[in-house]
């Protein structure tokens, strides 16, 4: 399985050992893996939603041009020989030569529709036209979950929040145009759309209310792509895959591992099908160390699967380090907004003692300091610091406020 590594330095200034027992849990995707299950590590909450009745996965962010396809249930996007939009209704799409475009699994936004982007202002399916608006200039062929082929033209994404696309038969018949307001789904990371039934599915928990989604999807194994089933992680989380290491040893040395923010670090290959016994084998001495959105660290160990008969997957999780503010910390009531942001970031906090030097720094996910925001004595009680991060690349950053020997870290998303 291809896994693009984005190395993450674990910032552990806030972490201190906690002692808990491994908790056994499981998720059930149903026969044939027809469902997907969103899972929150801290609470064990599971949100089950259909995984087989949608074709497109849209992003709620107004700053994303990405559109994923439901590859696990054989939705496929193709670039045709002629992709001109001028005669969408009256012309027949030439399917004599089609090039398949695939979603990737480095990030959620490594997707089929933008896979041929050449960089701003070209986003693959459309071009940036100023004022935050992207206008589509290509027609694609798309095979739906039913196996039916259609053609699709993503017409525009607007900063008002609306996105518009037109779908038709390959000869232009049965055309319809759909406009969706992404602002309606701002509390979720994604929402889903079924083309044949013209249905929107708002099935995810809140953006940071899940760390894992168990689902069927397509991924690369060697030179080929296959439908697989496993666990993908939410945006910007740090995960380490620890191979050939005793479970206890992997946990004890958790700060020494290499962390990765690719969404398929856990993936599907913790299991393999044994053609001799016709059963599933679970990879031995394999565990995953990951942090949730609170910064708490868990060890995950997969222990079994029923396969496609019921789609059940078994695992244990153990919370072993927390990132809570230590008691009597001089840094209090920290708030960072807006988050995500594309430019201005406001940081609110209180200091119990203004005699203690305070500094605020911003780090990228590789642990490199990218910005010094302040390095001064600040007021006791309420402080508000404003900084401009518009010159930074889009992505996840870690904001660290340090006062004396103690610090607190907050996750920031630049869009």
Residue 350 maps to which CATH number? 2.60.40.1930
CB 360 within 8 A of CB 401: yes
Would you state the pLDDT for residue 12?
37
Task: Write the DSSP assignment of 189-225 as a string of letters.
Answer: SEEEEETTTTEEE-----TTS-SEEEEEEEEEETTEE
**195 and 215 together in one domain:** no
Q: How far is CA 174 from CA 137, 142, 260, 406, in A?
A: 21, 15, 45, 63
Please give the average per-residue pLDDT across 250-259, as a whole number.
87
In a domain, 342, yes or no: yes
**Which of 135, 167, 201 is where one domain is finished?**
201
Would you state the pLDDT for residue 247?
96
Residue from 138, 141, 142, 137 nearest 94 by CA: 141
Say if residue 122's pLDDT is above 80. yes
Number of domains in the chain: 3
Work out the angle at residue 362's Cα, subtended by the Cα atoms of residues 359 and 365, and round it to the nearest 5 degrees. Answer: 140
Q: How far is CA 397 from CA 1, 117, 254, in A?
A: 27, 24, 21
Say if residue 138's pLDDT is above 50. yes
CB 176 within 8 A of CB 128: no
Tell me the pLDDT tens digit for each residue of 22-37.
999 999 999 999 999 9
**Which of 255, 290, 322 is where one domain is finished?**
322
Of the ranges 15-29, 105-119, 165-179, 233-247, which is most confident?
Answer: 165-179
CB 223 within 8 A of CB 259: no
Tokens of 87: 């005669």
- DSSP label at 258? P
In this predicted model, which residue has the larger pLDDT, 226 or 410? 226
Least confident piece of the model among 130-134, 185-189, 248-252, 325-329: 325-329
In a domain, 50, yes or no: no
| Residue 312: burial class (beta carbons within 10 Å; 0-12, 13-18, 19+) | middle
Report the C-alpha gap between 351 and 331 in whole angstroms: 5
pTM recorded for the entire structure: 0.77
Residue from 377, 347, 349 nearest 362 by CA: 347
Say if residue 398's pLDDT is above 60. yes
Report the C-alpha gap between 207 and 210 in whole angstroms: 7
- DSSP label at 267? B
**225 and 193 together in one domain:** no
Say if residue 19's pLDDT is above 70. no
Please give the average per-residue pLDDT across 307-317, as a whole number.
97
Per-residue pLDDT band at 374 (split at 50, 70, 90): confident
Query: 175-197 b/e with 16+ CB inside 10 Å = b?
Result: eeeeebebeebeebbbbbbbbee
In a domain, 178, yes or no: yes
**361 and 388 together in one domain:** yes
In a domain, 51, yes or no: no
Per-residue pLDDT band at 72 (split at 50, 70, 90): very high
Place of tokens 């559109």: 67
**192 and 256 together in one domain:** no
Report the C-alpha gap between 153 and 209 in whole angstroms: 33
**282 and 247 together in one domain:** yes
Sign of dihedral through CA atoms 117, 122, 125, 131? positive
In a domain, 2, yes or no: no
**34 and 82 together in one domain:** no
Say if residue 1's pLDDT is above 60. no
**Which of 322, 349, 365 is where one domain is finished?**
322
Work out the angle at residue 183's Cα, subtended by the Cα atoms of residues 181 and 189, and round it to the nearest 5 degrees. Answer: 110
Please give the torsion angle defined by the CA atoms of residues 41, 46, 50 and 55, in that order, rounded to the nearest 10 degrees: -30
Per-residue pLDDT band at 3 (split at 50, 70, 90): very low
Would you state the pLDDT for residue 21?
81
In a domain, 1, yes or no: no
Establish whether the linkage from the previous residue to 338 is cis, with ω within 30° of 0: yes
Q: Kindly report the average pLDDT of the chain as a whole number.
A: 88
Question: What are the backbone dihedrals phi and psi of residue 278, each rounded to the nearest 5 degrees, phi first?
Answer: 55, 45
CB 41 within 8 A of CB 211: yes
Domain coverage including residue 164: 56-201
Establish whether the linkage from the previous residue to 95 is cis, with ω within 30° of 0: no
Per-residue pLDDT band at 381 (split at 50, 70, 90): low
């Amino acid at each position: 399985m291809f896994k693009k590594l984005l190395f993450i330095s674990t910032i552990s200034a806030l972490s201190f050992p906690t002692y808990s027992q491994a908790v056994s849990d499981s998720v059930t995707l149903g026969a044939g893996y027809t469902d997907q299950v969103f899972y929150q590590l801290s609470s064990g909450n599971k949100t089950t939603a259909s995984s087989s009745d949608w074709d497109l996965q849209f992003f709620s962010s107004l700053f994303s041009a990405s559109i994923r396809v439901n590859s696990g249930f054989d939705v496929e996007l193709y670039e045709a020989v002629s992709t001109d939009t001028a005669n969408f209704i009256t012309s027949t799409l030439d399917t004599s030569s089609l090039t398949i475009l695939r979603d990737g699994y480095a990030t959620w936004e490594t997707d089929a529709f933008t896979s041929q982007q050449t960089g701003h202002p070209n986003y693959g399916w459309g071009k940036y036209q100023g004022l935050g608006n992207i206008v589509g200039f290509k027609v694609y062929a798309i095979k739906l979950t039913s196996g039916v082929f259609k053609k699709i033209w993503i017409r525009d994404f607007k900063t008002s929040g609306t996105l518009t696309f037109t779908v038709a038969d390959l000869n232009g018949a049965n055309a319809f145009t759909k406009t969706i307001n992404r602002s309606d789904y701002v509390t979720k990371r994604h929402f889903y759309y079924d083309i044949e039934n013209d249905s929107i599915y708002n099935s995810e928990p809140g953006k940071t209310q899940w760390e894992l989604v168990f689902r069927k999807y397509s991924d690369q194994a060697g030179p080929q792509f296959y439908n697989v089933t496993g666990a993908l992680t939410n945006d910007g989380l740090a995960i380490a895959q620890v191979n050939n290491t005793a479970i206890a040893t992997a946990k004890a040395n958790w700060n020494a591992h290499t962390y990765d923010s690719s969404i398929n670090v856990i993936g599907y290959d913790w299991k393999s099908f044994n053609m001799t016994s016709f059963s599933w084998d679970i990879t031995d001495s394999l565990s995953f160390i990951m942090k949730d959105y609170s910064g708490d660290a868990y060890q995950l160990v997969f222990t079994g699967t029923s396969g496609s008969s019921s789609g059940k997957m078994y695992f244990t999780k153990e919370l072993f380090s927390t990132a809570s503010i230590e008691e009597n910390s001089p840094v209090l009531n920290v708030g960072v907004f807006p988050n995500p942001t594309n430019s201005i970031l406001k940081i609110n906090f209180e200091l119990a003692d203004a005699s203690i030097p305070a500094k605020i720094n911003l780090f990228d996910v590789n642990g490199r300091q990218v910005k010094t925001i302040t390095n001064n004595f600040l007021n006791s009680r309420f402080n508000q610091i404003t900084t401009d991060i518009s010159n930074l690349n889009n992505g996840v950053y870690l904001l660290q406020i340090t006062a004396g020997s103690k610090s607190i870290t907050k996750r920031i998303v630049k869009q």
